[in-house]
Amino acid sequence: MASNGSGLWLTPADYARHRRVSRQAVHKAIAEGRIPLVRGRIDRVAADRDWEDNTEPPISGAGGADSASGATFNQARTLHQVYRARLARLDFEERQGKRIDRQEFLQAADDHGRRVKDALMALPGRLGPRVAAEGSRVKCERLILAEVRRLCEELAAGSARAADEAPARRGAGART
């Protein structure tokens, strides 16, 4: 066998190990004429040169790298499983009452803020005549303080009722 001065002659299986590709890939390259086979052997140096010149890099496959992102199929599948696990955890925590819907929270906060504002805006009309009838500054302060305290307790009780009712509303609309 003439070696063209290039060196080592390998079997197709040995050449596949050398290139770190499958034997099928080497046999396909031989069948397509991309690398020469002489008496069942491959000239390693000439075949390496021909392989580089005549073989396109793999696009993507079950274990190969995706040309756009560089992610392999297994990496993508793992990422997908992690994403599904996170969604399942969020769903579980929501069903346990550890998490609430953002829109529900914003709506409840807005409702509560509106109740506080309305109650505060009503104070002057409700207290004005009573404060005006009082003669001493101390009695006026006590009257205002008692009304503000009553208002705070009323608003806190309303917030507690709303918080107790929220899980029941969520449970009724929960996914199964």
Angle at the Cα of 52 (from 48 to 55), degrees rounded to 5? 115
For the chain, give the number of residues.
Answer: 176
C-alpha distances in angstroms, 109 versus 5, 96, 105, 116, 167?
83, 21, 6, 11, 16
115-149: pLDDT as tens digits: 899 988 888 888 888 888 888 889 889 999 999 99
Q: What pTM was computed for the model?
A: 0.40
The pLDDT value given to residue 167: 57
89-112: pLDDT as tens digits: 988 988 888 888 888 889 988 998
40-82: pLDDT as tens digits: 999 999 899 888 888 776 655 544 444 455 568 888 889 999 9
CA distance 155 to 38: 92
The pLDDT value given to residue 14: 93
User: What are the residue boundaries of the structural domains of the chain, listed by start?
Assistant: 9-54, 62-99, 100-172
User: Shortest CA distance to 67 belongs to which of 79, 78, 77, 56?
Assistant: 56
The pLDDT value given to residue 170: 53
